[in-house]
Amino acid sequence: MPDLLPKLIARLNVWGTEAWQWFQDNVLEPERLIELGIIIVAYFLARLASGFIMKGLDMALGDFAPWRRIQPRIPQSRITAIVALILLWSGRLIMEPLAGVYILPLATSLLTAWIIISIATGFIASRELARMMSVAVWSLAALNILGVLTPIINVRDGAALPLGDSQVSVLDIITGLLTAGLLIWGALALAAILDRHLRDFPNMPASAAVLVGKTARFALLALAVLIALNTSGIDLTALAVFGGALGVGIGFGLQKVVGNFISGVILLMDRSIKPGDVIEINETYGRINKMAARYTSVITRDGTEFLIPNEDMITQPVVNWSHSNLLVRRKIPVQISYGSDLEKAMALMVEASLEVPRVLKTPEPRPLLKGFGSDGVDIELRMWIRDPENGVSNVASDVMMLIWTKFHDNNIEFPFPQRDVHITGLEKALALSQQKPSAEPDQS
């Protein structure tokens, strides 16, 4: 143990000496310094030229529609890299016959790989995923260009982990993770494309399109994971016991999640609700915007989005205003005084409802006499609408405002509570209050 520190220091000195010697032989030579100077000058010239190029393209193609579409996908850094690559190739062609080159070929190869990878990942919608993919792929390309990828692969391939009857190396795990990332991204991209195409089918119900899309997404993700495990060299039979134990744990720990998922599948299969329906559940009234695996998104009239668990959509009472058809009947209770003209009031109520554009003329609005109350005559107006997604309370408010105006213009009175108070024994009380007590003289 005491000899370990001096040996470590001696080893570090050897490594430092070797690194310094390599740096002197490959970097501090005059030819290599010239190459470094070319790289620095090419970078600054490319930075300066890229700004002028972008301004020139905007001035020349500013009104060209295809250019406006692709211009946001062309960052100035990519133009800088392309100009720098042209300058580096020019310097390489000039230097190679004169003094030979060593750094310039590496620089041009690394820059070429970066440009190709950045263009390829530019088609990925997620910027974070595109950046992660660019760094990972370019790192592998850089290691290969520098000639150190093969030794690293050999070292990683030699470090193996026992898994059942087989062994899995660190290289297999890394390969599996990269493959899984690519395959999962591809599966999600294919599922998104399938969802868009399913929505374009006019004869396919919305719930069926969502069910097919969710099933395809789940199947593609499962296939991607299985292929990634097989690529990494893991024997799937060795995971049978582990998978069973994991399934039991998931069954106990994620009961609600699994219940919501199964409930979502049931909702999509029985088509009791579907995207676009207007529903009411637990005092939440709104339009179904999206049906996910765990929840149903409902957007109310005030723009609030409620994420309701799918299990609640099955176990709780749900009012679907547009399940079988879009016709919805609204009832407006009205009370008039006993001295008002009843037939005229009913006619005015129908007239007021027909003046609101959203109220249907067929079926026609109909007033009904509901009863004789303590304060007035009870009438109920029944009318139909076809667009419950635009709200059902606002159309009732519009009709009631017109009823209010027409009743006042035609002397139809709205009653208010009236009570007659009868006081008994009032005359006797007044007589007693007017009598004065007799004053008798004091005889004492």
**pLDDT tens-digit map of 267-299:** 877 777 888 888 888 888 888 888 887 888 898
Q: In the predicted model, is pLDDT for residue 442 greater than 60?
A: no
Assigned token pair, 87: 């300058």
**What does the alpha-carbon distance between residue 121 and residue 103 come to, in Å, rounded to a whole number?**
27
Report the percentage of the chain scoring pLDDT > 70: 72
Least confident segment among 4-18, 166-180, 309-323? 166-180
Can you tell me the mean pLDDT for 319-348?
Answer: 87
Assigned token pair, 177: 């993770």
Give me the chain's average pLDDT, please.
Answer: 77
Assigned token pair, 400: 């009631």
Least confident segment among 32-36, 82-86, 93-97, 166-170? 166-170
pLDDT, position 61: 72
**What does the alpha-carbon distance between residue 204 and residue 209 come to, in Å, rounded to a whole number?**
7
**What does the alpha-carbon distance between residue 62 and residue 69 come to, in Å, rounded to a whole number?**
11
Most trustworthy range by pLDDT among 62-76, 120-134, 374-388, 408-422: 374-388
215-273 pLDDT, tens digit per residue, is 788 788 888 877 777 766 666 565 565 566 566 666 666 677 777 778 887 887 777 78
CATH topology of domain 160-253: Helix Hairpins (1.10.287)
Confidence of residue 167 (pLDDT cuts 50, 70, 90): low
E strands, 38-184, where? 160-163, 166-169
162 cis-preceded (ω within 30 degrees of 0): no
Question: Sheet holding 328-336: strands in order across?
Answer: 328-336, 377-385, 366-372
Per-residue H/E/C for 179-209: HHHHHHHHHHHHHHHHHHHHHCCCCCCHHHH
Least confident segment among 342-351, 358-367, 420-429, 434-443? 434-443
pLDDT, position 435: 67
Q: CB-based burial of residue 336 (10 Å sphere; 0-12 exposed, 13-18 middle, 19+ buried)? A: buried
pLDDT, position 368: 93
- 157 phi-psi bin (left φ>0, alpha ψ -120 to 50, beta other): alpha
Confidence of residue 403 (pLDDT cuts 50, 70, 90): very high
- For the chain, helix, strand, coil in percent to 5 are 60, 15, 25
pLDDT, position 90: 84
E strands, 228-272, where? none
88-147 pLDDT, tens digit per residue, is 888 888 877 776 777 788 888 888 888 888 877 776 666 776 777 777 777 777 777 766
Higher pLDDT, 318 or 129: 318
- The yes or no reply on domain 274-320 and CATH 2.30.30.60 is yes
Strands 284-291 and 328-336: unpaired
**What does the alpha-carbon distance between residue 80 and residue 53 come to, in Å, rounded to a whole number?**
9
Higher pLDDT, 14 or 167: 14
145-154 pLDDT, tens digit per residue, is 766 656 655 6
Question: Is the Cβ–Cβ distance between 275 and 290 less than 8 Å?
Answer: yes
Q: What's the chain's length in residues?
A: 444
CATH topology of domain 328-409: Alpha-Beta Plaits (3.30.70)
Sketch the domain layout of the chain as residue ranges.
Answer: 21-147, 160-253, 274-320, 328-409
pLDDT, position 1: 46
Q: In the predicted model, is pLDDT for residue 321 greater than 90?
A: no
DSSP 8-state class, residue 300: E
Helix (H, G, I), strand (E, B) or coil at 238: helix
pLDDT, position 207: 63
pLDDT, position 444: 45
